[in-house]
């Protein structure tokens, strides 16, 4: 096992394997030992598949750019034959698949060694990861009393805790970027349809959801996105073509950009002083790097209407998934099948007509046009990722049955930025540039639709200007990195 495991990102570990300095088996053993050491405290890694991982190594790993690197799959999406999934729910516990998703095949083809899945809130509809199916909340390695976020909370906690340098996630309303912010990681949401959904889904949440990654370095996300980018067979639409690769983009100098600084919510409400200080600190850094930064927010974009439409679309998607599962089981919904918020989402979906649903899609498409108009004048919109520091465990739990109130009155004020760019389809990222009272505070950057390479390159510039890879959570009672 490696004593200096923490000093390498995924690309660095792959280089050691390629040079014969460490074996894939030794890396897997290290990741499994880390899991045993820290998972009791953070409850992030589930559905262990050690046998499948060892079989992949024994059968001969593909000679890909990440050959031999241990990896984790979110317990939602990235469907794969050898990796059962709970979807964060007792109803879906131990779901198996008869074929791999395109996303999984591309990751496996790069030589990665998945060995387990990571926790998620039930069906991915929360910003905290506390699903009942996992027997308790997932905790933030920076402070075990705080949430790592959601819905890719387990992935973020596992990476921050040093189990793996990178993990799979997904983002339908901030579900990569919010956990990245809470756990001091880099999280990138690509332009709509940049990454494959099939064959198990045509699109996620009317095109608002997309796969992604939680990483400690920008280059890991760049490479993982290069590996997976492009439509799968029969995809209903595709993202605009890239000019090159993300790995090429992060080595190109970024020309001066016009950056809009928003230190309120997108609708003008005040945020906590900590997050306001964080975004002003980032603005000063960007100005020092040669970019033009000025105060502005997309006031012409109807963010409240967008969020209401987002809430209705997700309710309908949740209800459809549950109904499909129950049809396969041949029975009605039982009292203990799903949690309160999910039950509330199903009830809310029953009030939404087909015409209402189409109107919701029209609303998010209009929002994308409104945002595109704002980005005629700016290359980047700069905000915090969240309106406040990581929330306490339990504050955003899924027990409440008032689904609309949960989303609009609890989650949206806490996370008022991220879902905007799921609705518009634009690329957006959370960058770990700021810490306060021992907690990471993410900085959110969004770019024009299709301008993924510009955004990734800017994030790489920020990483060079203010490196964060060395920042690791402290040891705490019941939690150790060794």
151 is catalytic: yes
Q: Give me the catalytic one of 89, 101, 151, 321.
A: 151
| C-alpha triplet 72, 434, 394: angle, nearest 5° | 60
353 is catalytic: no
What tokens appear for 245 in the block? 């690769």
Strand-strand pairing, 210-215 and 439-447: unpaired
Q: Give me the catalytic one of 74, 89, 181, 217.
A: 74
Q: Give me the catalytic one of 101, 152, 175, 321.
A: 175
93 is catalytic: no
Crossing angle for the helix pair 218-228 and 10-18, nearest 10 degrees? 70
Strand-strand pairing, 45-46 and 113-118: antiparallel
Cα dist from 313 to 172, 233, 354, whole Å: 11, 25, 11
Catalytic machinery residues: 74, 151, 175
């Amino acid at each position: 096992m490696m004593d200096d495991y923490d000093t390498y990102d995924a690309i660095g570990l792959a280089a050691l394997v390629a040079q014969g300095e460490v074996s894939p088996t030794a890396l897997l053993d290290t990741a499994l030992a880390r899991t045993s050491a820290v998972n009791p405290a953070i409850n992030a890694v589930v559905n262990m598949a050690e046998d499948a991982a060892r079989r992949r190594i024994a059968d001969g790993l593909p000679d890909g750019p990440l050959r031999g690197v241990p990896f984790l799959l979110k317990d939602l999406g990235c469907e794969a034959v050898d990796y059962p999934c709970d979807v964060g729910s007792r109803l879906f516990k131990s779901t198996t698949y008869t074929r791999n998703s395109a996303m999984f095949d591309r990751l496996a083809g790069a030589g990665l060694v998945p060995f387990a899945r990571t926790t998620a809130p039930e069906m991915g509809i929360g910003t905290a990861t506390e699903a009942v199916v996992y027997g308790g909340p997932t905790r933030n390695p920076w402070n075990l009393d705080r949430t790592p976020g959601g819905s890719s909370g387990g992935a973020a906690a596992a990476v921050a805790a040093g189990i793996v340098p990178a993990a799979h996630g997904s983002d339908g309303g901030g579900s990569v970027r919010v956990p990245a912010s809470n756990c001091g990681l880099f999280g990138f949401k690509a332009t709509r349809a940049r990454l494959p959904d099939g064959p198990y889904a045509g699109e996620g949440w009317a095109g608002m959801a997309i796969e992604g990654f939680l990483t400690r370095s920008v280059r890991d996300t760049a490479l993982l996105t290069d590996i997976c980018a492009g439509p799968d067979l029969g995809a209903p639409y595709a993202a605009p073509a890239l000019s090159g690769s993300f790995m090429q983009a992060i080595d190109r100098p970024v020309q001066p950009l016009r950056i809009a600084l928003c230190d309120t919510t997108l609708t003008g409400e005040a945020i906590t002083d900590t997050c306001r200080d964080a975004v002003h600190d980032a603005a000063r850094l960007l100005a020092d790097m040669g970019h033009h930064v000025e105060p502005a927010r997309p006031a012409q974009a109807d963010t409240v209407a967008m969020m209401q439409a987002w809430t209705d679309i997700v309710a309908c998607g949740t209800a459809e998934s549950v109904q499909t599962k129950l049809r396969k089981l041949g029975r009605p919904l039982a009292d203990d099948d799903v949690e309160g918020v999910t039950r509330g989402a199903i009830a809310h979906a029953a009030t939404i007509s087909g015409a209402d649903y189409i109107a919701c899609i029209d609303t998010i498409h209009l929002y994308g046009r409104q945002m595109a108009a704002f980005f005629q004048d700016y290359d980047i919109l700069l905000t915090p990722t969240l309106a406040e520091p990581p929330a306490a465990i339990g504050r955003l739990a899924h027990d409440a049955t008032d689904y609309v109130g949960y989303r609009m009155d609890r989650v949206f004020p806490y996370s008022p930025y991220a879902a905007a760019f799921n609705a518009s389809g634009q690329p957006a990222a959370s960058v770990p540039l700021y810490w306060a009272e021992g907690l990471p505070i993410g900085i959110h950057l969004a770019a024009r639709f299709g301008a993924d390479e510009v955004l990734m390159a800017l994030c790489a510039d920020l990483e060079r200007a203010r490196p964060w890879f060395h920042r690791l959570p402290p040891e705490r009672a019941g939690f150790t990195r060794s």
